[in-house]
Structure 1
């Protein structure tokens, strides 16, 4: 066979390898369009609070002052009030006190389903908790809870609804027992019955699909649960055991007394260190939290005193908080200024943030001219709860041929306090001249995108590289294409919902949503296909 100039006669020429370019990207500036608004991303951030059940219309314990009375859908009005702060999560209490000694009625189950439908219709997810008691003591109005038999029967009744609606359940809190489902102050004494608590959580882990986590109020509760299971306490969760269908990997924490005094409202009563490093109970959360969906809330009305802003931020980072309540210690609900109000006005500059080794983009405190812009503790907290993904660089070709293999590589930094915990796809997309979308899934899990290496005392930001080769279809129409990253919801039901896709915290990428609102794609480059 005769070869000439690198070609073999009788065979088509191989297309030349595409020439690659590398581009750097920046984070959001406060002076970018909507740069001081909250970035509405799913399954993270500040959360509202609603209460549903027999005789409850969705109202939180305390209304937003001036917003008006709640209707059965009134909680939507209240959460929309905070749309500019990027809220996508709702703490949802569903009270079962009407059915203490009988099955949950068909109407009660239908009301629960209607709540799930509302969440889905409006683009939200729930931090879900079931409970019987709305008060601390019987004298204050607390009811006697369902006995063990009825309580477990209620769990079995709820099981089909949990499975059918897991797409809008961000996390399930263990609940059911004690005041507000916090596993204390149970008139029946359920909170002291460790074998029963273990059976309850074991059953919840069975009925809740395995990709979701469950919260307990205090770290030792997790040990109680596991010590009464056949496998027993298997030690602290590590990266090797993360995101498996085990009690260790699926039981996280909800601190319902966040920063409420030295014990965090009873979360860490162990003297002398209490809520500080060195207390094994505190350190349990520090060591396990990189791989668990963790949530918290302040006490109402600063009952344990005001909360220092910078101390709150460093604790949120240390324990990898994904969500935090906006319904406590805030004048909009309580009529007087408390901690959240102070955070809203407390200035925060990059020097304080850097000294505290808190994550932030270089542009977060700069305007378009590079001049410093002062932020507030509240802004920073709002923006860095959970994950905050920023594209820092991309390597890609600017020209390609149909049928050609297209190498693409991107670098991401997670500037948030936590990683993404629920399953989510990573998909590169090409958007054609007619806005048709070509999808190229990548076998990568965003759960691995930690903000810093667990245990790193310097909290050094990690760079996460995603590299792949996109095989262009041979019949791909020629023209100008935009290249982007799509991070859709992991459930088939919500995959084609742009409002459930993740938006990058960049000022020089473009958030593109197609006309059916199926794709929410972070466009970062363009290329010509010939």
Structure 2
């Protein structure tokens, strides 16, 4: 049975502007400017406790154009002892200093600097365990960590303790990966060590990228770049090993699509380090970082031959707006749409996660509307914006009812996702466009204004209540198999009847999104695993407040609506296309093309007050715990505690590891009480638990 394939309704960039939209073309710039987590870096070495970073020095470093410092910790005083508390305190203080100065740190621990011994394996593992807490607490100030610890300079060769073998290297690397925050990468000196340790000689694939497995978190730092045919042993030596070296370089180029590559050069050797050869190799290996002072002879050649400015511009990412098509006006309660193209002129992509927001800012008041998460579609993860590629970001954002009318300027914000840095412009990405950067906020101006007008009703598209949903093409209703109350029960279309299997409690959760709860249960209409693909099954699942259970309900024509998943941007669809009219035809998610199998009529069965009595049937007669927004974009969320009688509830928040993250005594009245969680939760999943009317209630809160 042929399915009607469909694409999200967005405006095509190549088309001419209409009265409803404007298509803009943007000018790039060749300016050299600072951006986070990329470019040249400088070194600062601590040999002993008491040699903490100096704030004035770090501020001057940033002013000089460096967004990061490679911080090397020489543990020579602790080869045979635990790291002292004074030294650990210095490391912790350094992260605070870096944060205050608006920079990040590349971190390496070693037991010598050129000459001297390293430490035993057991000592190294113990030191990593000691460092774990301070590293975990400072993910926001870490760009990445170099593997260190073993051998001369911590570069994994010439170990004085016999650690130059795959078993010991693997044990140390995996212990370090467990100590470093899961959101951060570890860079190895030699790419062949990664293959050997993980017994996997394949480069990372897109599906493996950024999944926080150990292998996906291991990059490379080449500390003898362009020194000879093998980069000082980075690749295999031997006049007869040219094919092997080429295979090794090919692996590294592909692997580095999704992991960090940094390093420093060797001495100038014209046969290897001319500008033409250097730039070609830097581009192929997707370099994000180089040492600004080593080696001075090679760097001088780049200056003399004229490619230094190109290197400064191209290390890491360099994102540039090319074109955008944007709506000229939108009414409250309606959808603002845009399609924005960004090209990466740099050699690498982002390797750490990055926020993406399209902001509408009131020109009179400065009030902001922020489109993020499910309001964005297309290519919305900058980590996949590879060097030389152009990507399209689509926007479909419902302007909330009650928004002040007027002129709003459109901006693109690429903030650091860490809550401590999210609003700091030093950590936002600047685009390589003329007259776009707004340094006071870290926003990039799109040079466009949109007029927001009052909607015809000023109300949500659908009022809260209990509804049946009827597919336009078949006249069959959205139905739960066997009226089941089980998780993962199948949802399909079925002939209309009076059972609660076809009744859905629709409830607004803000920003134009709704949950649909199977009447008489706590099971919500849910996308299997929050997957993004066409054809993914839609089922029912226990309410959890996450995006796969949030649906945007928007009118199409003649009283019908489309329902779009916040998690995927795909719409509620009867599988098989308009010809699929039989009972039991499955309901899935699919891109929207206006097919009648993707349009639904919502018929009100009972109002919001009636819904309240049924939606909570299994929640102890009205006892429930909800959170909104969920996911929370900034670590702030409001809990809604519903109870039958007045009481004081103890709300506990736990990290994914089960550690307490907050405990609050909340006075609860009979009915619903809202409680705002304090800001400051770092990105991740949290378990929230309380007891209401003697019943334990839990939910999962996601912080982005």
* TM-score of the two chains, using structure 2 as the length reference: 0.58
| 2:40 counterpart (46, 67, 70) | 46
Q: CA deviation at 1:329?
A: 2.5
Deviations 1:27-84 (A, max 9, x none): 114xxxxx3xx221111111111112416746xxxxxxxxxxxx8457426624622x
Q: CA deviation at 1:24?
A: 0.8
Counterpart CA distance in 2 for 1:219 and 1:175 is 14
**Which runs of structure 2 are paired with 1:92-131 in the superposition (5 Å)?**
92-131=71-110
Counterpart CA distance in 2 for 1:284 and 1:256 is 18
Q: CA deviation at 1:405?
A: 0.9
Q: CA deviation at 1:527?
A: 1.9
| 1:180 counterpart (153, 162, 177) | 153
Counterpart CA distance in 2 for 1:219 and 1:181 is 15
Alignment RMSD (CA, Å): 2.3
The 8 Å contact of residues 503 and 522 in structure 1, kept in 2 or not, is answered as no
Cα 1:222/1:28, change in 2 over 3 Å: same
Tell me which structure has the larger Cα radius of gyration. 2
In the alignment, what sits opposite 1:210?
A: 182
Q: CA deviation at 1:281?
A: 2.2
Q: CA deviation at 1:236?
A: 2.9
The 8 Å contact of residues 208 and 216 in structure 2, kept in 1 or not, is answered as yes
The 8 Å contact of residues 38 and 315 in structure 2, kept in 1 or not, is answered as yes
2:134 is aligned with 1:150: no
2:417 is aligned with 1:490: yes
In the alignment, what sits opposite 1:259?
A: 226
Counterpart CA distance in 1 for 2:411 and 2:396 is 14
In the alignment, what sits opposite 1:240?
A: 207
Counterpart CA distance in 1 for 2:309 and 2:169 is 38
Q: CA deviation at 1:161?
A: 0.8
Counterpart CA distance in 2 for 1:202 and 1:278 is 27
2:101 is aligned with 1:171: no
State the aligned residue count. Answer: 430
Counterpart CA distance in 2 for 1:145 and 1:522 is 51
> Which stretch of the first structure deviates more once superposed, 473-482 or 406-415?
473-482
Q: CA deviation at 1:310?
A: 1.6
The 8 Å contact of residues 106 and 143 in structure 2, kept in 1 or not, is answered as yes
Q: Which has the higher contact order (CA 8 A, sep 6+)?
A: 1
Q: CA deviation at 1:448?
A: 1.4
In the alignment, what sits opposite 1:350?
A: none
Q: CA deviation at 1:339?
A: 2.1
Cα 1:124/1:80, change in 2 over 3 Å: closer
Cα 1:472/1:223, change in 2 over 3 Å: same
Q: CA deviation at 1:502?
A: 0.6
- Secondary structure of 1:257's partner? strand
| 1:437 counterpart (351, 368, 390) | 368
2:263 is aligned with 1:296: yes
Q: CA deviation at 1:235?
A: 3.2
Q: CA deviation at 1:223?
A: 2.2
In the alignment, what sits opposite 1:446?
A: 382
In the alignment, what sits opposite 2:451?
A: 528
Counterpart CA distance in 2 for 1:522 and 1:277 is 48
In the alignment, what sits opposite 1:19?
A: 20
Mark the runs of 5 or more structure 2 residues left unpaired by the alignment.
1-17, 375-379, 454-704
Deviations 1:257-308 (A, max 9, x none): 0101222122123323768885322222122111111002012x54898721
In the alignment, what sits opposite 1:387?
A: 317
* TM-score of the two chains, using structure 1 as the length reference: 0.76
Cα 1:277/1:440, change in 2 over 3 Å: farther
| 2:279 counterpart (282, 305, 313) | 313
**Which runs of structure 2 are paired with 1:190-229 in the superposition (5 Å)?**
190=163, 192-227=164-199
2:334 is aligned with 1:404: yes
Deviations 1:161-182 (A, max 9, x none): 1111111111111100111100
Cα 1:472/1:74, change in 2 over 3 Å: closer
Counterpart CA distance in 1 for 2:250 and 2:144 is 22
